[in-house]
Amino acid sequence: MSVEVLKLTLGPLQTNSYILGDPQSGEALVIDPADHAELLVQTAREHGWTIRTILATHGHFDHVLASGPLQRETDAPFYAHRADLPLIRALVSQVREWMGVSASPPAEVTHFVEAGETITVGGIALEVLHTPGHSPGHVSYVLQERRMVFSGDCLFRGSIGRADLPGGDYETLMHSIRTQLLPLGDDFTVAPGHMENTTIGYERTHNPHLLDDFGHIS
């Protein structure tokens, strides 16, 4: 049986959290625990899965808000890029500044992901792409088996991630999209950090940001 992918839209900024489960081994991982750790655990259990690993595409609070509670609930290691460690450690202050409320401390990062690395959990294999520009340590995760890329806040349907936040850079973001995401192939599904899924092919020919930056890409 192939890897199953569940999307839950959670938290104050309607962030997409993904649970990837391997039906054969019963093991699962979470990409971007945005909120409601108990719901993530419950959803995995309802499918007969145990969460073994927690991954972050980047360190902005709306993508890691539930990382601490989820790690305490599951004892799972937390993976992120080293360059976004300051953002993750600033979660509590980020939430206070942006939302005016308190938050649980983030999970302890137990492994720093690197470009080209393959993360395996049960029968799930994810390739790491370093896709900075929205944040310095932003990464995307490629699930070749399903021809999917979990793009975080790098690429959206008809849009791109913000580059005006601290650590962001527009030219770097566009370079990441051009050199890391577009070469995956037009048939790849893009599972973003917000909003609905899209495809590389659709964005190549319809995304106004890409067309403005590169001209019409055939």
Q: What is the pTM of this model?
A: 0.95
Domain span at residue 66 reads: 4-214
Q: Give me the number of domains the chain comprises.
A: 1
How confident is the model at residue 218, as a pLDDT? 36
- Whichever domain contains 39, its CATH number is 3.60.15.10
Q: Which pLDDT tens digit goes with each residue over 149-205? A: 999 999 999 999 999 988 899 999 999 999 999 999 999 999 999 999 999 999 999
Q: For residue range 73-116, what is the model confidence (pLDDT) as tens digits? A: 999 999 999 999 999 999 888 888 877 888 888 999 999 999 99
For residue 102, the model assigns a pLDDT of 83
Rounded CA gap, 70 and 52, in Å?
11
Beta-sheet strand order (sheet of 78-81): 4-10, 15-22, 27-31, 50-55, 78-81, 109-113
Mean pLDDT over the full length of the chain: 94
**Which phi-psi region, left, alpha or beta, contains residue 162 (left: φ > 0; alpha: ψ -120 to 50)?**
beta
Q: Which two tokens stand for residue 208?
A: 């106004």
At 1 the pLDDT is 57
Rounded to whole angstroms, the Cα distance separating 133 from 70 reads 27
Is the pLDDT reported for residue 215 higher than 80? Answer: no
216 pLDDT band, cuts 50/70/90, is: very low
What does the DSSP assignment read for 71-138?
HHHH---EEEEGGGHHHHHTHHHHHHHHHSS--PPPPPEEEEE-TT-EEEETTEEEEEEE--SSSTT-
- Distance CA(176)–CA(182), nearest Å, equals 9
pLDDT at 214: 58
Distance CA 210, CA 4 (A): 30
The DSSP bridge partners found for residue 93 are: none
**How many alpha carbons fall within 13 Å on the CB side of residue 66?**
26
Which has more confidence, 167 or 130? 130
